[in-house]
Amino acid sequence: MARRSEALAVIGRAVRTPQGATGLAIAGCVVLVAAIGPAVAPYSSTQFVTAPFARASSVAWLGGDILGRDVLSRTLDGGWELLAMAAVATALGVAVGAVLGVMAAYYGGWWDNVIMRAVDVILAFPQLVFALLLVAILGPKIWLIVLAVAISHAPQVARVARSSALDISERDYVKAMQILGIPGRRIVRRDVLPNLTSVLMVEIGLRLTYSMLVIAGLSFLGFGLQPPAASWGLMINENRVGLIANPWGVLMPAILIALFTIGVNTFTDAVARASLGVGGRATEPEPVALVAREVT
């Protein structure tokens, strides 16, 4: 498949730009911390090691949290579940959204109306509020949060996929194939979908940061992993009363969440540029339009 390697080539071009490399490295470091963290943590994340909000010492390198547990161990332990949830929610949301969007564009008419109306209904909720609505009824369950975030991503991805698919189907070579009598299904599979890959890669990056935003936000509000489990969002909330005594309990999770978002953003922008023009120095307005179009 020549076209599939074209998608890889876009990523390759993005990685070779300084911006793309920096972004990937930053996000990669956070993923590494979250992935190997539980294995290298000096203590268990629920073990009482020192006094509440104790200052950093040789016993606890980043001090104690609200109950005297080790901040370093809880930081190392509290990321992988957050990142895994964000990754699954993003993959699910983009996949469902892309399928719905292409279906709406391909079938048109009645299908298009039903799908886009459903999209409007879900788009009438702020993402976090939509997740809260589901959590309110079924309780703060991990699968539910992942599902809620995925459902709230799908409409936005569907819109982007639909308009790109419509755009592609307007092109001459697609029209030529239609005139030649090539079945529509085959045109979608062989020509529309491959051309969507670079649009969808940018969507994956955007949705990943928003997944992180909503899932960590829910965890901050107390509707993610339940205590005593360690989770970055929850840690910030638990430890902010002791901000003056030991700021690390708040700072470490905040820094890691921020670095992940910054890294993914920077890399996604590099991918968006690479997919537009060879050499990466594409005109500025296009990537900004891509990034800004579906902000919320």
Report residue 133 as tokens. Answer: 């609505």
Confirm if 262 and 252 have CB atoms less than 8 A apart.
no
Whether the ω angle into residue 227 lies within 30 degrees of 0, i.e. cis, is no
Confirm if 206 and 268 have CB atoms less than 8 A apart.
yes
Q: Does 125 bind other proteins (CB under 8 A)?
A: yes
Confirm if 296 and 127 have CB atoms less than 8 A apart.
yes
CB of 26 to other proteins, least distance (A): 9
Residues of span 144-183 touching other proteins by CB under 8 A:
none
Q: Does 77 bind other proteins (CB under 8 A)?
A: no
Residues of span 99-118 touching other proteins by CB under 8 A:
117
Cα dihedral angle (249, 262, 142, 131), rounded to 10 degrees?
110
Q: Does 84 bind other proteins (CB under 8 A)?
A: no
CB of 80 to other proteins, least distance (A): 18
Residues of span 262-281 touching other proteins by CB under 8 A:
262, 265-266, 269
Residues of span 47-66 touching other proteins by CB under 8 A:
none
Q: Which of 103, 151, 212, 271 binds other proteins (CB under 8 A)?
A: 212
Query: Binding segment for other proteins among 41-49, 51-59, 106-114, 251-259 (CB under 8 A)?
Result: 251-259
Q: What is the DSSP string of 32-72?
A: HHHHHHHHH-SS-TT-B-SSTTPPP-SSSTT-B-TTSBBHH
- With respect to other proteins, which residue has the nearer C-beta, 18 or 279? 18
CB of 140 to other proteins, least distance (A): 9
Q: How far apart are CA 109 and CA 71, in angstroms?
A: 56
Hunting for tokens 């964000």 — which residue is that? 86
- With respect to other proteins, which residue has the nearer C-beta, 166 or 291? 291
Q: Does 33 bind other proteins (CB under 8 A)?
A: no
- With respect to other proteins, which residue has the nearer C-beta, 43 or 210? 210
Q: Is 70 left (phi over 0), alpha (psi -120 to 50) or beta?
A: beta
Q: Does 223 bind other proteins (CB under 8 A)?
A: yes
Q: Does 137 bind other proteins (CB under 8 A)?
A: yes
Cβ neighbours of residue 43 closer than 8 Å, sequence gap 6 or more = 49, 60, 69, 70, 73
Which residues of this chain interact with other proteins, rule CB under 8 A?
117, 120-121, 123-129, 132-139, 209-210, 212-213, 216-217, 220-223, 233, 236-237, 240, 243-244, 247, 250-251, 254, 257-258, 261-262, 265-266, 269, 284-285, 288-289, 291-296
